[in-house]
Amino acid sequence: MPRKYSMHRRRAAVDQTRQRIIEATMALHDEKGILATSMQDIAARAGVALGTVYRHFPSLDDLVPACGARKLELYPPPTPEVFDGLEGQARIPALYAALYAHYEAMERPYYVGYAEASKLPVLRRFMDNADAYVRSLVVDALTPLGPSEELTGLAIALADFFTWYAFNRAGFRSDAAAQTAASAFLRRLHEGSNA
């Protein structure tokens, strides 16, 4: 019995060390960017030996997905459940409100991710998956409206992180930006149906 308890405690300690490394890495990536953060920086921030970092995460291909998964666990993206109970056009404001709130919570990770993705293939895959997820959420929101390809493209463009970022830099709060995006899309939808 004591041996089993000892193994359980050891496993818990290993998990805690791994988590400490991930948390330290996320903080450093937000502060400095991914490419400017060394494994030595991570070890110092986490309070562990450099070898311990490499034992848990031999390369960025192991570390980046672990950090991304943790960020999404802490700040999950909206799911199709945001449309529950909403019909037709009412889904559009819900889409942008949920996405823009998510972008606000994850501003720095998204910004760094897109800025450095071209130099780091594992990060490019992660950001491509994020883009695909947003597109699928937009399509889900639009399905009852049966929009044209052009309107779908507009809805996807308005759902992009950098659209929210531009609104934010222009002084819009996320809720006001979401209302503006939804209004712009719905106005174009009505123009198309009246043409």
* CATH number of the domain where residue 35 is located: 1.10.10.60
Whether residue 131 sits in one domain with residue 43: no
Residue-wise pLDDT tens digits, 47-93: 999 999 999 999 999 999 999 999 999 999 999 999 999 999 999 99
Backbone Cα Rg of the chain: 21
- For residue 4, give both structure tokens: 């089993």
Q: Are residues 22 and 52 in the same domain?
A: yes
Note whether 79 and 130 are same-domain residues.
yes
The pLDDT confidence band at residue 194, using thresholds 50, 70 and 90, is low
* 69 within domain boundaries: no
Give the C-alpha separation, 79 to 99, whole Å: 9
CA atoms of 43 and 52, how far apart (whole Å): 8
Of the candidates 30, 100, 178, 194, which has an alpha carbon nearest to the alpha carbon of residue 22?
Answer: 30
Pair 190, 147: CB distance under 8 Å? no
Q: Is the pTM of this model over 0.85?
A: yes
Tens digit of each residue's pLDDT (9 = 90 or more) over 100-157: 999 999 999 999 999 999 999 999 999 999 999 999 999 999 999 988 999 999 999 9
Q: Are residues 81 and 146 in the same domain?
A: yes
Q: Tell me if 137 is assigned to some domain.
A: yes
